[in-house]
């Protein structure tokens, strides 16, 4: 039987979490999330256990690294440990032109492509000045977004409850699953961000269910 007391009511609020990067902070998956991860912002010495892996950047933010545990990592910028995932170790340069077209004049490049469909992936996204990442949207898994260069705005929420936060180099933005958001670039600067997808998506399959198939957008 349903209860009217507040402590028995289901409460879910998807949020965006912002960190400047100059103060060491640890952020881990809340208890209600499906996949466990822990992100270390700023300077940290991290012990990665066997069975886990870590994504992190070089101290000059020019290279991305992926290592399996057990390993000790001295992270200066941002590192994320994903539990129970052990892909092959890799490294890649963050420099170079993104060559894959994206929405609203944006472009992207796969830094670490998912080894299998649905696996975690590290991407690079370039949003040109005066553009928008795309229409307001949601993701089904967490995004850990490192701001590599340029300035922009992160717009989160729904009409009537929108929250706007300026993005600057070195910041980290962590987007909860199902958090409505988009990025814009009103400062006459290109914005380059590097999002880590804590597990990714398979085209067409996630929307193949009765709720979505029976819904039609009214314009």
Q: State the pLDDT at residue 42.
A: 98
- The reply to whether 39 falls in a domain is yes
Question: Does any domain span residue 212?
Answer: no
**Ramachandran region of residue 94, left (φ > 0), alpha (ψ -120 to 50) or beta?**
alpha
pLDDT score recorded for residue 138: 87
d(CA 59, CA 77): 6
Residue 157 or 214, more confident: 157
Residue 70 domain flag: yes
* 123 has pLDDT over 70: yes
Q: Which structure tokens are listed for 37?
A: 């991860």
Distance of CA 137 to the CA centre of its chain: 13
Is residue 4 domain-resident?
no
Residue 218 lies in a domain: no
pLDDT in tens, 163-197: 999 999 999 999 999 999 999 999 999 999 999 99
pLDDT-based confidence at residue 211 (cuts at 50, 70, 90): low
Is there a domain that residue 173 lies in?
yes
- Looking at residue 110, which CATH number applies to its domain? 2.60.120.10
Q: Is the pLDDT of residue 8 over 80?
A: no
pLDDT digits over 9-64, tens only? 555 567 999 999 899 999 999 998 999 999 999 999 999 999 999 999 999 999 99
Position 214 scores a pLDDT of 60
Residue 163: which H helix or E strand, with range? Answer: strand 163-167
Q: How many domains does the chain have?
A: 1
Residue 9, in any domain of the structure: no
Q: Report, as an integer, the average pLDDT of 2-15.
A: 53
- Whether 211 is covered by a domain: the verdict is no
Global model pTM greater than 0.85: yes
Q: 4 falls in which pLDDT band (50, 70, 90)?
A: very low
Confidence grade of residue 99 (pLDDT, cut at 50, 70, 90): confident
- For residue 52, give its domain range: 15-200
Judging by DSSP bridges, how do beta strands 100-101 and 90-93 pair with one another? unpaired
Q: Which of 219, 166, 192, 170 is nearest to 23 (CA)?
A: 170
CA distance 69 to 87: 10
pLDDT digits (tens, 9 = 90+) for 131-165: 866 678 888 899 999 999 999 999 999 888 899 99
| pLDDT band at residue 102 under the 50/70/90 scheme | confident
């Amino acid at each position: 039987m349903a209860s009217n007391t507040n402590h028995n009511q289901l409460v879910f609020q998807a949020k965006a979490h912002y960190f400047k990067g100059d103060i060491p902070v640890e952020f881990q998956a809340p208890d209600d999330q499906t996949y466990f991860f822990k992100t270390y912002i700023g300077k940290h010495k991290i012990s990665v256990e066997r069975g886990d892996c870590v994504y992190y950047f070089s101290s000059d933010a020019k290279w991305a690294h992926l290592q399996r545990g057990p390993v000790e990592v001295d992270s200066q910028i941002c590192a994320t440990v994903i539990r129970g995932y052990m892909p092959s170790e890799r490294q890649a340069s963050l420099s170079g032109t993104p060559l894959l077209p994206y929405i609203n004049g944006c472009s992207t490049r796969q830094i670490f492509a998912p080894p299998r469909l649905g696996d975690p992936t590290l991407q690079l996204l370039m949003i040109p000045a005066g553009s928008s990442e795309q229409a307001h949207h949601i993701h089904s898994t967490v995004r850990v977004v490192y701001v590599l260069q340029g300035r922009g705005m992160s717009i989160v929420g729904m009409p009537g409850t929108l929250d706007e936060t300026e993005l600057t180099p070195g910041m980290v933005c962590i987007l909860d699953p199902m958090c409505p958001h988009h990025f814009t670039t009103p400062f006459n600067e290109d914005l380059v961000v590097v999002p880590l997808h804590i597990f990714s998506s398979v085209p067409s399959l996630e929307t193949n269910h009765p709720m979505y198939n029976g819904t039609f957008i009214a314009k």
